[in-house]
Each structure stands twice: as structure tokens, then as C-alpha cells.
Structure 1
Amino acid sequence: MLFKIFCFVSACVCFQSALVDSRHTNNWAVLVDTSRFWFNYRHVANVLSIYRSVKRLGIPDSQIILMIADDMACNPRNPRPATVFNNANQNINVYGDDVEVDYRGYEVTVENFVRLLTGRLSEGTPKSKQLLTDEGSNILVYLTGHGGDGFLKFQDSEEVTSQELADAVEQMWQKRRYNEIFFIIDTCQAASMFDKFYSPNILSVASSLVGEDSLSHHVDPAIGVYIIDRYTYYALAFLERVTPNSTKTLSEFLAVCPKRVCISTVGVRKDLFSRDTRKVPITDFFGAVRHVEVIPEIVPVDYEHFPIEENPVIKDSSSIADRYLYLSEFPVTIK
């Protein structure tokens, strides 16, 4: 019993120490590819590359919402079935063996996207398709596809406007569904999508300004199409050098694609973001690793400094230690 209590208290202490520089308690990612058809292969590669990066840095699948409008891995034109590559040398299969797609094909709609953000999903929606965030959540939102001045196309059949996106985020704020949001938008005229934002604690970066196209990086001759966009290519080159313990900051990430390599002009909006990006670790959005040190020694605990609640499972116990509630992840078995 003492060992269980010690583990619980130690985890709490480590958890609190990890939050000294940030108020958030959990990280989520919403990664969306909105386009269809084989010639848009690069958009699937874009989103799967970001997906691979956030998983590598510690965000679990249970806290990642992955939306892919077209499945390039299973496309009949794919010369390498069940694979998606983001470079012509086929170094990394970003589709991999452990990709969990939450919204696929015709499930990727404007309605489902807005409902996901605002939490207005139909009753019975599986938890894997819900954004179960709270006021302590930092959310990375990555969008890629085809866009224009003030809109982002979904599957060449509908659009979400910048105003609709801004209003959805405001609902999230009013419902206390986030602490901070980092929007990354890789489309043509992408900066127009965050012009209407008016809610607090939002940082936004776009691959192109209004009136500019967001360009592709290179073609894989074996596939016959462009396989990644320029902005995401250079963003990934940066993220590949990031580790869970990295000291790299958001300001460094915001400068990953200067115009000499991106050709388009990267747009950044920081006026709604309360923190100095030079002091914000990139892992505040791209990672979620909490370090807990386990030691074999018994450490005395002064219970008088902790609030005590009656454990409904344990009856007639005179021990103070037995009266602490346990997290649901650590069930107590009484014989």
C-alpha cells in the first residue's frame, strides 16, 4: 500500500515540476488532409509525416485525430501498395504499420471537422473520433489541401471559410476546450484562413500569404506525382532534429522555411498568443513526454500536507494511507 501511495505522490510531484513553464496538462493533435485524387498524393504524405513526428515525440494515438480524405496507400495507381513516401528515395514509409486513421474518405467533411472541434458530435460517437480536450489542453491543428482567399476546400465538393473556422475556435474557447492552439496551414493563400481569428491563446503559421500559391517540393519518378509540399518538407527537416528533451523553441520552428527555399512567403500571426515564442519549447505542442523517476528506496510521506478523501472501496480502515483515492488507472483490489 505504501509503495502505491509513494508512486502516486511521486508522479504528482514530477507532473507539477514539468508544468513550471507551461500551464497545460495534456497535448492533442488534429491532423487533416482535405483533398482527394491521386495527383494530390503529396497532401496525404504531408499529414502522415506530421503524424509520424508527433507520435515519435510522445503524443499517443489516443490523443491524435487523423483525418485523411483519400487513401493513397490503397490507391490502385500506387506502384507500392500499402506505402506512402514523403521523399523520392523512399527512405521512410510514413504510412507504416501503426497508422490509426480516425476519419477516412467521405467522413472527412466540413461538418465532421467543425463538430470535432466544438465537441458537438452525435451520441454514440466512438472516443477515438472525439477531441476529448479540456482547459488544460494544448492542441496542434495541421491542415493541408487546396485553399483560396478565405476558404479551404474539402474533397473538391465543399469549403470551410475562415469565418466558420474562427467561430468554431471561439466555441472551443467558450466551452473551455483548450489552453493554447497552434495552427499550421499548408495550402495556397493559407494566411487568409487565420485572418478572422479573434479568440485568445492562438498561434498561427501559414505556408503562403494571400495571393500566393503554396508550392510542391519534388516529384518521385516511380510514382509520377509530387510527393510533398515545400513548407511541410522543411518543417519536417526541422522536426527530425527535435527530441523529447529538446530545447528548441517555437520561434525557431516559425523560421523553418524562408522565402528563398519556400518561394511563397510564410505568414505568422502571434497577436492572439500570450507567450513569447522564443521561450516556448516546441514540445509544448509537438510532444507529450512526462519524465518520472522510479527509485527502489522507501520515502517517508507526510500525509498531513495532503487533503484526505474517503475511499469508497475501503471500509472501516483506521490507516490514513488507506483513505487516499486512487486514479482509475490504478484500481484497488480488496480481498
Structure 2
Amino acid sequence: MKNMTYGVANILVILILMLVSSISSIHRSLPEDFLQAGHTNNWAVLVDTSRFWFNYRHVANVLSIYRSVKRLGIPDSQIILIIADDMACNPRNPRPATVFNNANQHINVYGDDVEVDYRGYEVTVENFVRLLTGRLPPGTPRSKQLLTDEGSNVLVYLTGHGGDGFLKFQDSEEVTSQELADAVEQMWQKRRYHEMFFMIDTCQGASLYEKFYSPNILAVASSLVGEDSLSHHVDPAIGVYIIDRYTYYALDFLERVEPDSTKTMGEFLSVCPKRACISTVGVRKDLFPRDPHKVPITDFFGSLRPVELTLSGLNVTAMSRTQNQSRREELKRKVSDRSLQYAKQFPTSKLGSS
């Protein structure tokens, strides 16, 4: 009986070794590009951290970026929109249910298709860090989760009031640059991103990216340490500034971008020179392995999914080898004379400026 037990154990050990060996051989036979997954999807985390009517511009900032990334193809299911105060419903708003980013009231950026994921008192440092790191309570709705993976390019846009090494949340708490850097490192260790782009429009915004130490991060800020980030213009009808300078010029650039655009992140990083922004725009790219001038802007702000349209029907009935060859030649001719083309996903839309 004892010998039989040993025999069964030996057989199990042999089977396990054979299984491990077969898995290893499969792993070795996989192509290298499969083992090193690249960029496969896009996500955006758009955050306004300030409250009160006089911070109207911060809500307009974040809603304007939200509108741009949606136009360029990132779906709502992959956008986390965080707004600390609801200016559209503020009793001081003379135009209820609207938010404008331009004194000419050209575009209501708070349209019917806006999906806010965190609002009001849900906008806390704890919720923000939990969102990034994936440490959310059980039962959290899918719309409140950042379901990224090792193939995700993530755009993080932050606007509000900041200082040297911190960003205020609702004038009651703050996230420090070290806390933000540690949260990003957790994301990297848990394979929650492929590349990240931080776009920070706050006073002394550059201080928020100084502590980053994780790979594949590109960052831009509207002001250096010791500098204020300034507003662009006032709407006399509501009596407050309605957009910040850096975001205004960034939007002016983004509105000329289409899903099939050849514009690059390198071009985007220089959208607001000092003569326009007054503050000095800061850029950090030492953690980013690629040349920003060779990175399409749609790698972060869009999600290009071209659709190929044919102008004629395709006969799917059985054909002879000669017929198949003839059909292939016909398709080649159509491609060469451009009768078979890619269709743009979205119509052209331009933003007027004041």
C-alpha cells in the first residue's frame, strides 16, 4: 500500500513537470511583440479640484478638455470626469444648465452628453488616489473605476489651486507631489498603464511632477515653481473669469486636430509660449523614452479607429481560383485609384475664439 502511494506521488510529480515544460515551450515560441504588449487603448482622468462660483473657470477648463477627447474618439466609458462644483446649477449662473469657455458663448461645454463620474463632496484626495491605484471599495460602479491595463495610455488633466508641492481639493485638503508620485508608482507596479501624460493647469504646477520616478511618464504644467498660472478673459455677463490661459491655448490647438491628424505631442508641448501664457510652461520628459516629436497627439488625446468602406458589393459565393485572382486584381485597382478610402469618424468642428 505504501509503495502504491509513492508510485502515485511520482506520477503526479512527472505530470506536473511535463505541464511546466510544455508551458515554457509555448512561452518561448510566442513572438516577442506579443510578450511586450504596446499601446492598445486610451483612457482619460479629468479633474477639477476647486469649488465656489469664482472658480467657474476651472469647471470650464475640465469640461473643455472632456469635449475635446470625446470628439477625438475616447468614449465616455473610458473617461473619468471629476468635478468638485456644479457651475451649471449654481444659483448665480444667469444661464442655468450651461457652462461656457468663451465670452462669445460659442459652445456650451456642459451639453446633454456630459457624464460626470465624481461630483461635489465625492471629490476627495482619498477617492482620487483610490481611483488611480484601483483600490476601490467592493461594489463601486464600473463608471467610477479606472479599468486600465498594461496596454493603456492614460491622460491625466488636473486643474484647480496649487502651491509648491501640493494641489488643493475643495479648499479643505490637499494632495502632495510625493503622494501623487507614489500613487503613479503603484499603478506601474500593478501594470495599470503603458504610458501616462500629465497635463497640469495650476499655480506652481511644475512642482506636482517633480517627484515622479516611474517610467513612461510625460508631463506639462502651466507654470514653474514660484509662478502663478493666470486666467484668460472675463465674461461680463457672469462677472468672473471663464477659462485659464494655458487651457485656452491648448484647446485652440486641439480644435485643429482631427482623429487622423499627424500633429505630435512635441508640437502640443509648446502651445503656450511665455508671451501668451505670461507664466512659464514647464515640461518633464526625462522619464519618457520616446521623442515627443515622433508621438502622435492621438496617442493620448484620441482613439483612432479607421473604418474601411467599399463602394461595391462583395460576392461571397464559391469562386474558382481564376475568379479569385481576378477579384484580387480588381480590388488592387480600386485601392490604387483611391475609389476605396478611409472614412473619418467625426465631422469637422471648429471653436471660435474671443
TM-score norm. by structure 2 comes to 0.78
How many Å apart are 1:294 and its aligned residue? 5.0
Structure 1: which amino acid aligns with 2:287?
L
Secondary structure (helix, strand or coil) at the match of 1:58 reads coil
How many Å apart are 1:42 and its aligned residue? 0.1
2:48 paired with 1:49: no
Where does residue 254 of structure 1 map in the other structure? 269
2:156 paired with 1:141: yes
Q: 1:56-135, aligned counterparts within 5 Å?
A: 56-135=71-150
How many Å apart are 1:23 and its aligned residue? 2.4
- Separation (CA, whole Å) in 1 of partners of 2:251 and 2:300: 15
Structure 2: which amino acid aligns with 1:69?
A
Q: Which has the larger radius of gyration?
A: 2
- Separation (CA, whole Å) in 2 of partners of 1:270 and 1:231: 19
Where does residue 289 of structure 2 map in the other structure? 274
2:212 paired with 1:179: no
Cα deviation, 1:237-278, whole Å, max 9, x if unaligned, reads 000000000000000000000000000000000000011101
How many Å apart are 1:85 and its aligned residue? 0.2
In angstroms, what is the RMSD of aligned CA positions?
A: 1.4
Secondary structure (helix, strand or coil) at the match of 2:44 reads strand
Where does residue 5 of structure 1 map in the other structure? none
Where does residue 194 of structure 1 map in the other structure? 209
Match of 2:255 among 215, 240, 262: 240
How many Å apart are 1:293 and its aligned residue? 2.1
- Separation (CA, whole Å) in 2 of partners of 1:293 and 1:266: 40
TM-score norm. by structure 1 comes to 0.82
How many Å apart are 1:299 and its aligned residue? 10
- Separation (CA, whole Å) in 1 of partners of 2:196 and 2:317: 39
Where does residue 291 of structure 1 map in the other structure? 306
- Separation (CA, whole Å) in 2 of partners of 1:212 and 1:230: 14
Structure 2: which amino acid aligns with 1:108?
V
Secondary structure (helix, strand or coil) at the match of 2:182 reads helix
How many Å apart are 1:64 and its aligned residue? 0.1
- Separation (CA, whole Å) in 1 of partners of 2:42 and 2:261: 16
2:227 paired with 1:212: yes
- Separation (CA, whole Å) in 1 of partners of 2:317 and 2:247: 48
- Separation (CA, whole Å) in 2 of partners of 1:190 and 1:284: 23
- Separation (CA, whole Å) in 1 of partners of 2:65 and 2:96: 21
- Separation (CA, whole Å) in 1 of partners of 2:103 and 2:309: 44
Distance 1:213 1:299, change over 3 A: farther
For these two proteins, the number of residue pairs brought into alignment is 280
Structure 2: which amino acid aligns with 1:71?
D
Secondary structure (helix, strand or coil) at the match of 2:45 reads strand
2:227 paired with 1:227: no
Structure 2: which amino acid aligns with 1:220?
D
Structure 2: which amino acid aligns with 1:263?
I
Secondary structure (helix, strand or coil) at the match of 1:218 reads strand
Where does residue 151 of structure 1 map in the other structure? 166
Cα deviation, 1:187-222, whole Å, max 9, x if unaligned, reads 000000000000000000000000000000000000
- Separation (CA, whole Å) in 1 of partners of 2:309 and 2:111: 33
Structure 2: which amino acid aligns with 1:115?
R
How many Å apart are 1:292 and its aligned residue? 3.3
Counting aligned pairs with the same residue, the percent is 87
Specify every segment of 5 or more residues in structure 2 that has no aligned partner in the other structure, as ranges. Answer: 1-33, 319-354
Structure 1: which amino acid aligns with 2:109?
V
How many Å apart are 1:289 and its aligned residue? 2.2
